[in-house]
Structure 1
């Protein structure tokens, strides 16, 4: 490719379905970026909780500092250590994938239960292999964290520009919860990326990402809107799946930075 693609933004989402954190650099691992979706909330029946059913989850904001994760919700704050957890394994499903997690601590679970208004637990996936995702498209099984299906989501900047040209109310890339945003020349050209390197890390494209109603949840206020899914469905509907961004996997570990160039 003649176009120069540069990493524009990097995001992680430590706790599944809560707000994300913008980073200047991140360590890529097989399961996803370090500390990306290693935690999630489950209900009293050990079912995962997401913004699809609980839009207020977008209003919990994490930060990472000095080995701790702090969560801010309205005027309330809570923190826990990245390394802390209880010992008893809990069997959960992330969609169709069986996973093993452990509770972080009772205090964190009680804090989230109080602010969400129902009983839940904060849990963590401990190690590579505790959750496997079988991709029918790639005919391969991947070790994944607690993300929906794949370790990384990459989006080209022109894909968002092209969509915003069609919307009355412009949106930001945060609607789509990417891990990596790159500069691009044409809308959705990232769908056709094959293998490439960013910094120290080799990546492989698996498939374009099918989107759900969660992209209609405005992360600024947690309100459900009709867009952008309504507009996207008019020009990005392929086999009854509305596509935006592409799922990728890393082939090795290493650091990537904002400003790194993609090498094909």
Structure 2
């Protein structure tokens, strides 16, 4: 049976994700705690993995109950910051680490997602397994960390998420919460990097595009895809379903209403 297998958010944009057992859909349409914080330079530009591979030199963890962000550098330095009470101290440390003046900002209503008019990202476990098989040495966990989806659905075929965009595409429900597909996710530079070291995977994009074309589902609407360097679905939750709670294990059902 199709089910919500993993619920993952990225509390600080560009840094590591955390797994949750349950999370609310915010009034802004995103998942609570996803990209809740972000680092901005003095010009108002965000610092993330698209901007610098140095983010891979950090291992982070976040506790939503306490607001504590734990950080460990590749050199073994460990720090802990209270993002609820003192973001200035955190901003000072991150400014020194990235060698750019930064401020730590927070948005609890929507988060600092790239597509602010859209909602959670969705992928299937089978899709991650397939992508991992395309590259020597890549694990499913590694593919998961490269692609950074919020919602992972198990019990479905590879590229299941592709059916929800294009002409006459259906919607789907997770625990009764409706999700409408908006667009496939065109990928950036981040997935080609090893999530631990930041080292680029040789010819990643070329191989990804070739394998994606070879395995593209015959039932998917190719016209809905700008190119084959796309993977993952960006969705929108209707306003009427926002404020409700997603839980790992919730059933996933296709809706044609």
Q: What TM bracket, shorter-length normalisation? A: 0.7 to 0.9
In 2, Cα distance between equivalents of 1:239 and 1:202? 25
Rate the CA distance shift 1:169–1:54 in 2: closer, same or farther, 3 A.
Answer: same
Task: State the distance in 1 between where 2:198 and 2:211 align.
Answer: 26
SS at match of 1:14: coil
**In 2, Cα distance between the equivalents of 1:65 and 1:50?**
21
For normalisation by structure 1, the TM-score amounts to 0.77
Q: How many residue pairs align between the two structures?
A: 225
List runs of 5+ in structure 1 lacking aligned partners: 85-103, 128-143
Over residues 26-51 of structure 1, what are the superposed CA-to-partner deviations in whole Å (9 max), with x where a residue is unaligned?
21223311111121111122211111
Two-structure CA RMSD over aligned residues (Å): 2.1
- Report the 3-state secondary structure (helix = DSSP H, G, I; strand = E; otherwise coil) of the residue aligned with 2:94: helix
In 1, the alpha carbon distance for the partners of 2:31 and 2:19 equals 12
Deviations 1:114-155 (A, max 9, x none): 22222111112254xxxxxxxxxxxxxxxx531122321100
What is the TM-score with the length of structure 2 in the denominator?
A: 0.79
Cα distance in 2 for partners of 1:65, 1:247 equals 24
2:163 to 176, 179, 192: 192
Does the aligned pair in 1 maintain the 2:177–2:244 contact within 8 Å? yes
Deviation at 1:226, TM superposition (A): 3.0
Alignment of 1:1-264 (within 5 A): 4-29=1-26, 30-58=28-56, 59-74=58-73, 75-82=77-84, 84=85, 105-127=87-109, 144-149=110-115, 150-171=118-139, 172=142, 173-193=144-164, 194-226=170-202, 228-236=204-212, 238-240=225-227, 242-251=229-238, 252=241, 253-264=243-254
1:99 corresponding residue in structure 2: none
Q: Which runs of 5+ in 2 are unaligned?
A: 165-169, 214-224
Looking at secondary structure, tell me which structure has more strand per residue. Answer: 1
> Could you list the per-position Cα deviations for residues 142-187 of structure 1 after superposition, in whole angstroms to 9, with x for gaps in the alignment?
xx53112232110012212222232222233111001011114322
| Helix, strand or coil at the partner of 2:69 | strand
| Greater helix share, structure number | 2
In 2: Cα distance, 1:41 partner to 1:23 partner: 23
Distance 1:259-1:228 versus aligned 2 partners, 3 A rule: farther
Distance in 2 (CA, whole Å) between partners of 1:118 and 1:71 is 21
Q: Is the 8 A contact 1:191 1:207 kept in 2?
A: no
Give the match's secondary structure for 1:225.
coil
Secondary structure, aligned partner of 1:231:
helix
Change (3 A) 1:70 1:191: same
- Rounded Cα–Cα distance in structure 2 between residues aligned with 1:164 and 1:68: 33
SS in structure 2 at match of 1:32: coil
Q: CA deviation at 1:11?
A: 0.5
